[in-house]
Amino acid sequence: MNTKWTCATAAVAGARHLRAARNGQDAVGAWLGADAAAVVVCDGCGSEVGSELGARLGVQLVLGALARRLGRGAAAADAELWRAVRAECGAALAALLETFAGDREAALRDGFLFTIVAAAVTRDEVAVWALGDGAYALGASSACVLGPFADNAPPYLAYDLLGEPRAAELVVVPGSCGSVVIATDGVVDLIGEDAPAPVLAAFSAPALARPDALRRHLALLARSGERIDWEARRVVRAPAPLQDDCAVAALRWELPS
């Protein structure tokens, strides 16, 4: 009997990019197999004009590499799985850059600096792998914010191609936790200084009830609000809670008995 998966994904532009009429630079994707699943979010470097392209490509590269291996029975907790995924994605980026005209290193920095947070789930375990900042929650109570990094410079997969690989993070827990939520660092706008578990866990319940609920929820958070103070005869404006771009993937499962 196959595992029953429930998944919701969404990526929205934050208020700062909406004000500047810029596209969002975060991306998200999911793959649901019979007995394994994977979700990935990527955040393009905000200072580069082509970062949205890199983030979207990164999601597809990581998701494809995971799907092929998990579909063949690889264990989510196996560090070798993640090393192989990282190597395959780096090689794919390098091959793509070889087809570009001009300075390949400049092209790499212009369009392919993106962070990665990925989760893989199998029958017995769930693993979260991260190269860069973001956040994740495993079940209802365990959560973590990744970063910030010194000088606002998180690690990127692109550094592997420059001969400057950075350390990734791998966390593994039993599959009995029942759910995982991963997000790019924009979600920190919603967490603030508090513990991230309640905020992230909240995505995995209402968001999974309706197909588009998560996207609509994030889109509303990226809009500023206003109300009329009739006594003072003025309009009171409230800034949008979600200022940065944000991508979120929420995955829940029921294991077969």
Residue 83 CA, chain-centre distance (Å), reads 19
Give the CB-side neighbour count of residue 157, counting CA atoms within 13 A.
31
Q: Of 80-89, 136-145, 230-239, where does mean pLDDT reach its minimum?
A: 230-239
Check pLDDT > 70 for residue 205. no
pLDDT for position 70: 97
Q: Coil, helix or strand for 169?
A: strand
Q: How confident is the model at residue 44 (pLDDT cuts 50, 70, 90)?
A: very high
pLDDT (tens digit per residue) in 94-131: 999 999 988 999 999 888 999 999 999 998 899 999 99
pLDDT for position 206: 58
DSSP state of 74: -
The Cα–Cα gap between 77 and 122 comes to 9
Query: Which residues does residue 250 pair with via DSSP β-bridges, in sequence order?
Result: 8, 181
pLDDT for position 168: 97
Set out the domains of the chain in order of their start, with CATH numbers.
4-254 (3.60.40.10)
pLDDT for position 152: 82
List, as own/partner pairs, every contact residues 21-24 make where C-beta atoms lie below 8 angstroms and the sequence separation is at least 24, other chains included.
23/52, 24/52, 24/245
Q: Coil, helix or strand for 83?
A: helix
Give the CB-side neighbour count of residue 163, counting CA atoms within 13 A.
1
Residue 188: its H or E element: helix 188-191
Q: Of 5-9, 215-219, 231-235, where does mean pLDDT reach its minimum?
A: 231-235
Q: Which residue has the higher pLDDT, 103 or 50?
A: 103
